[in-house]
Amino acid sequence: MSFDVISIIGLGYIGLPTAAAFAARRKTVIGVDVSKRAVDTINKGEIHIVEPELDMLVHAAVTQGYLRATQTPEPADAFMIAVPTPFRDENKPDLSYIEAASRSIAPVLKKGDIVVLESTSPVGTTEKMAAWLAECRPDLTFPQQLGEDSDIRVAHCPERVLPGHVIRELVENDRVIGGMTRRCGEMARELYQTFVQGECVLTDARTAEMCKLSENAFRDVNIAFANELSIICDGLDINVWELIRLSNRHPRVSILQPGPGVGGHCIAVDPWFIVDSAPEQARLIRTARIVNDDKPRYVLDRVERAATRFKEPVIACLGLAFKANIDDLRESPALDIAHQLSERFVDQVVVVEPNIRSLPEVLAGKVRLCDLNSALANADIVVILVDHAQFKRVDPVRLQAKVVIDTRGLLSHG
């Protein structure tokens, strides 16, 4: 089998690094994206997202002629769909991007091609994708659930990389590959082995879909446990971070860290796909989502209670990103808390976020973005929302005369 030309549909946080990884192995890669801005940026050898080392890789791939971006799909030997799967109202998964991407590549498919779904998806989506493709191309055969070989092979291979470490994890992580038939899985494995050094483990498409959702739900449930413990400990006057440190000395206990809530576009989203598929059974998974989504409100209550001690307190929010040492503000509980505080305490909130140069739209004109020193000099209340490296270096003496609400346990880590 040879994959001379590989097409990646969706050039975002997963699609673009994957395109660059294939191009680095001297494969011809055609990147497809609906956004003209993304396509133009990539064709200039630049990138439109933030991910360490990606700029260098894309620049090399484009200048050496291995990577080219376009808005219209072209023929290739392998197609990988890496478009978003957000959720709509009432936490229902929205598969419209996958459907549109599938229908857009259908006209250029030819016998022998493989289509791999990379997007995190509810169970059954790979089968739906095969059905959409089949509907557009009655002249070709597609795999049925337990069917035999077909003209077009279809598989699911969810990405599992950690934002900020994508380039390394893309190569080193093991991959779970769910083929719609054994042959589909084997072909997908050969495709991934072009650049993946981790093990590529074969299963069926439904198990692969559920595997990715389970990984993120596992983490969500465990963070919810830590968040619930933190609220219980506040009421019982126990330092939750010391408690967790001590509990984790047990050889079979490994409690995660509480925080201001769960952010990002994966862990706070994916468990809902399981709840949507099994609403009656997924009781723990649903409750974990609710516990984590409620945590920002709990933090706000604490700040409001602390503020009653002052006439017009200056409130410094340390951090806006959804986790430490990144600039990604999407679905960030820290941003949500800063925003709500800015509405409640007009002209009293200052924000420190060393990883951004200008405020996001929701905060523009409402809070002041300032450096750590001036924030600490003026604040009455300091709310630590993200455990950025810069904040870890603050001398605790500077916080002594202030009310500190430390949602990340920054001051409690020895």
Active site residue 233: no
Minimum Å gap between C-beta 51 and ligand SAJ is 12
Task: By CB under 6 A, tell whether 302 contacts ligand SAJ.
Answer: no
Residues that bind ligand SAJ (rule: CB under 6 A) add up to a total of: 20
Cβ–Cβ under 8 Å, residues 319 and 391: yes
The residue sitting closest to ligand SAJ, measured at its beta carbon, is 266
Classified as helix, coil or strand, 369 is strand
Marked catalytic residue, from 157, 184, 200, 212: 212
Stretch near ligand SAJ under the rule CB under 6 A, chosen from 36-44, 65-73, 214-222, 395-403: 214-222
Distance (Å, whole) CA 34 – CA 225? 40
| 72 token code pair | 């219209």
Question: Measured from the CB of residue 142, what is the shortest distance to ligand SAJ in angstroms?
Answer: 27
Question: What is the helix, strand, coil percentage profile of the chain, to 5?
Answer: 40, 15, 45
Active site residue 266: yes
Q: Which listed range, 89-97, 159-167, 176-184, 283-291, lies at the site for ligand SAJ (CB under 6 A)?
A: 159-167
Helix (H, G, I), strand (E, B) or coil at 315: strand
- Could you tell me the CA-to-CA distances from 237 to 114, 233, 245, 259 in Å, in that order? 58, 6, 16, 17
Residue in 27, 160, 175, 286 binding ligand SAJ, rule: CB under 6 A = 160
Neighbours of 241 (CB within 10 A): 21
- With a CB cutoff of 8 Å and minimum separation 6, the contacts of 339 are 362, 363, 366
**Closest to 79 (Cα-Cα) out of 49, 107, 113, 112:** 113
Catalytic annotation, pick one of 27, 266, 295, 317: 266
Residue 11 contacts by C-beta under 8 Å, 6 or more apart in sequence?
A: 19, 31, 32, 33, 35, 38, 39, 42, 69
Beta-bridged to residue 201, according to DSSP, are 176
Q: What is the CA radius of gyration of the chain?
A: 24
Q: Which of 151, 190, 215, 228 binds ligand SAJ (CB under 6 A)?
A: 215
Position 263 contacts ligand SAJ (CB under 6 A):
yes
38-67 residues near ligand SAJ, rule: CB under 6 A: none
The smaller minimum CB distance to ligand SAJ, of residues 202 and 267, is found at 267
Q: How far is the CB of 120 from ligand SAJ (least distance, A)?
A: 6
Which CB sits closer to ligand SAJ, 13 or 66?
13
Q: Binding of ligand SAJ at residue 264 (CB under 6 A)?
A: yes
Contact call for residue 267 and ligand SAJ (CB under 6 A)? yes
Stretch that binds ligand SAJ, among 23-31, 180-188, 213-221, 298-306 (CB under 6 A): 213-221
Is 319 among the residues that bind ligand SAJ (CB under 6 A)? no
Closest CA to 216 of 287, 269, 258: 269
Three-state secondary-structure class, residue 187: helix
Task: Check binding of 163 to ligand SAJ (CB under 6 A).
Answer: yes
266 binds ligand SAJ (CB under 6 A): yes
C-alpha distances in Å from residue 1, one per residue of 77, 82, 171, 194, 195 = 10, 23, 21, 12, 16
256 binds ligand SAJ (CB under 6 A): yes
Q: Tell me which of 68, 219, 297, 302 binds ligand SAJ, using CB under 6 A.
A: 219
Q: Which of the residues 97 through 136 are near ligand SAJ (CB under 6 A)? A: 120
Report residue 163 as tokens: 């934002």
240 near ligand SAJ, judged by CB under 6 A? no
Q: Which of 22, 79, 272, 322 binds ligand SAJ (CB under 6 A)?
A: 322
- Which residues of this chain interact with ligand SAJ, rule CB under 6 A? 120, 159-163, 215-216, 219, 223, 256-257, 259, 262-264, 266-267, 322-323
Which residues are designated catalytic?
Answer: 212, 266
